Amino acid sequence: MNIVLVSYEVDPFAKVGGLADVVGTLPKFLKDKVDKISVIMPFHKIVEENIQKYGLPLEKVTENLYPFSHSFKYPFSVFKSHLPETDIPIYLIKNENLFSTKDIYEYPNKDHQTSYFSDCVLTFVKNNLTDTEIIHINDWQTSLIPVYLKNNYRDDKVLSKISTVLTIHNLGYQGIFSPEILSIAGLPGYLYNIDALEFFGQINFLKGGILFSDIINTVSKTYAEEIQTDEYGYKLDGVLKVRNDDLYGILNGIDYNQFDPETDKTIPYNFNKENLENKTKNKLALQEKSNLPKNENIPVISFIGRIVEQKGIDLISEILDYLTLLDIQIVILGTGEKRYEELLLKYRDKYPEKLSINIKFDKNFAQLIYAGSDMFIMPSKYEPCGLGQMYAMRYGTIPIVRYTGGLADTVKEFSCSTYSGTGFGFYEYSSSNLLIEILKAIHVYKRNKNCWNKLIINAMNEDFSWDKSADEYLHIYKRALAKKRF
Ligand SMILES: Nc1ncnc2c1ncn2[C@@H]1O[C@H](COP(=O)(O)OP(=O)(O)O[C@H]2O[C@H](CO)[C@@H](O)[C@H](O)[C@H]2O)[C@@H](O)[C@H]1O
Query: Per-residue confidence at 483, pLDDT binned at 50, 70, 90?
Result: confident
Pocket test for ligand 1, best of 26, 169, 472 (most atoms within 8 A of CB): 169
3-state secondary structure of 424: strand
Q: How far apart are CA 16 and CA 143, in angstroms?
A: 19
CA of 183 to the centre of ligand 1 (A): 34
CB 322 within 8 A of CB 315: no
Domain ranges of the chain: 2-253+467-482, 277-461
Q: Percent of the chain beyond pLDDT 70?
A: 99
Which pLDDT score is estimated for 132? 98
pLDDT at 486 (0 to 100): 47
8 Å CB contact between 278 and 456: no
- SS3 string, 83-127, reads CCCCCCEEEEEECCCCCCCCCCCCCCCHHHHHHHHHHHHHHHHHH
ipTM of the prediction: 0.98
State pLDDT tens for residues 322-343.
999 999 999 999 999 999 999 9
Taking residues 269-292, what's their average pLDDT?
97
CA-closest candidate to residue 414, choices 387, 437, 389, 386: 437
- Residue from 383, 379, 336 nearest 232 by CA: 383
- Residue 13 contacts residue 90 (beta carbons within 8 Å): yes
Query: Which residues, in sequence order, are bridge partners of residue 89?
Result: 82
How far apart are the CA of 139 and the centre of ligand 1, in A? 14
Q: Calculate the average pLDDT of the chain.
A: 96
Assigned architecture for domain 2-253+467-482 = 3-Layer(aba) Sandwich (3.40)
- Binding residues for ADP-alpha-D-glucose are 15
Top mutation candidate among 248, 289, 385, 395 for ligand 1, by most atoms within 8 Å of CB: 385
Nearest to 383, CA basis, from 460, 473, 441, 309: 309
Say yes or no: CB of residue 104 within 6 Å of ligand 1: no
What are the phi and psi torsion angles at 68 (to 5°)? -65, -50
Largest CA distance in the chain: 69
Q: Which residues contact 293 (CB under 8 A, 6 or more apart)?
A: 287, 329, 353
Question: Do the Cβ atoms of 223 and 249 come closer than 8 Å?
Answer: yes
Distance 307 CA to ligand 1 centre (A): 11
C-alpha torsion sign, points 218, 19, 404, 306: negative
Label residue 100 by pLDDT band (50, 70, 90): confident
- Reported confidence tier of residue 102, pLDDT bands at 50, 70, 90: confident
DSSP string, 238-252: HHHHHTGGGEEE---
Dihedral sign (CA 195, 196, 200, 201): negative
Is the shortest distance between the CB of 385 and ligand 1 below 6 Å?
Answer: yes
Task: Determine the 3-state secondary structure of 141 from DSSP.
Answer: helix
Average pLDDT over residues 201-230: 98
For the residues 141-169, what does the mean pLDDT come to?
97
Position 101 confidence tier, pLDDT thresholds 50, 70, 90: confident
Q: Ligand 1 center to residue 380 CA distance, Å?
A: 12
Question: H helices within 40-89, ranges in order?
Answer: 45-53
Q: Quote the CA–CA distance of 332 and 292 in Å, as a whole number.
A: 12
Give the dihedral sign, CA 436/438/444/447: negative
pLDDT for residue 270: 98
pLDDT digits (tens, 9 = 90+) for 258-278: 999 999 999 999 999 999 999
Stretch (H or E) spanning 367? helix 363-372
How far does residue 305's CA lie from ligand 1's centre (Å)?
A: 6
Cβ–Cβ < 8 Å for 212, 147: yes
Confidence of residue 416 (pLDDT cuts 50, 70, 90): confident
Instruction: Name the pLDDT band for 482 (thresholds 50, 70, 90).
Output: very high
Q: What is the pLDDT of residues 16-33, one digit of tens each?
A: 999 999 999 999 999 999
What whole-number percentage of the chain has pLDDT above 90?
Answer: 97
- Give yes or no for residue 364 CB within 6 A of ligand 1: no
From 371, 404, 370, 372, select the one nearest 386 (Cα to Cα).
404
* Mean pLDDT confidence for 203-225: 98
State the pLDDT confidence band at 485, using cuts at 50, 70 and 90: very low
Q: Count of alpha carbons within 13 Å of 314, Cβ hemisphere only?
A: 8
Question: What DSSP state is assigned to residue 79?
Answer: E
**Is CATH 3.20.20.70 what the domain over 277-461 is classified as, yes or no?**
no
Is the predicted pLDDT of residue 197 greater than 60, yes or no?
yes
Rounded to whole angstroms, the Cα distance separating 387 from 389 reads 6
Q: Is 17 in the pocket of ligand 1 (CB under 6 A)?
A: yes
State yes or no: pLDDT of 464 exceeds 80: yes
What is the average pLDDT across 309-317? 96
Determine whether 102 is exposed, middle or buried from the number of CB atoms within 10 Å of its CB (0-12, 13-18, 19+): exposed
173-188 pLDDT, tens digit per residue, is 999 999 999 999 999 9
Q: Which helix (H) or strand (E) holds 376?
A: strand 375-378
Cα distance between residue 302 and residue 291, in whole Å: 14
Q: Please state the rounded mean pLDDT for residues 401-415.
A: 97
One fold for both 2-253+467-482 and 277-461?
yes
pLDDT of residue 296: 97
pLDDT digits (tens, 9 = 90+) for 346-356: 999 999 999 99
Whole-number Å distance, alpha carbon 334 to ligand 1 midpoint, is 10
Residue-wise burial string across 285-306, b where 16 or more C-beta atoms lie within 10 A, e elsewhere: bbbebbebeeeeebbbbbbbbb
